[in-house]
Amino acid sequence: MSNAGNLVITYEEAGEPRELAIADAPADVDEGTVLLYVLKQHGGESLELDFPPYSDELNKRRLRAQKLNLLNIDWSYR
């Protein structure tokens, strides 16, 4: 796994724009990893909800982010 540089995650928290920078991030992050970074930032990585049956980890992370009002999550490298 190689590093691509600084990962910059942009999102909205309750309608307010936010930015999270991860130095020396892996080059191959996916949506699940980005969601985990954001959830950890807000203490929501272990938030217990009533998940629909057969929810995979990605869907659980999406639902946790929605519950915490963390929306429009996007990422890029700088």
Q: Over 70: is that where the pLDDT of 2 sits? A: no
- pLDDT value at residue 29: 93
Residue 24 makes CB contacts below 8 A (sequence gap 6+) with 3, 5, 6
* The predicted structure's pLDDT at residue 35: 97
> Are residues 36 and 17 in contact, defined by beta-carbon separation less than 8 angstroms?
no
- 23-72 pLDDT tens trace: 988 888 999 999 999 999 999 988 889 988 889 999 999 999 999 999 99
pTM score of the predicted model: 0.88
- The long-range contacts involving 55-61, CB below 8 angstroms and separated by at least 24 positions, are 57/32, 58/31, 58/32, 61/32, 61/35, 61/36
Number of structural domains the chain divides into: 1
Q: Give the structural domain span for 69.
A: 3-77
Tell me how long the chain is. 78
Q: Contact, 58 vs 32, CB < 8 A?
A: yes
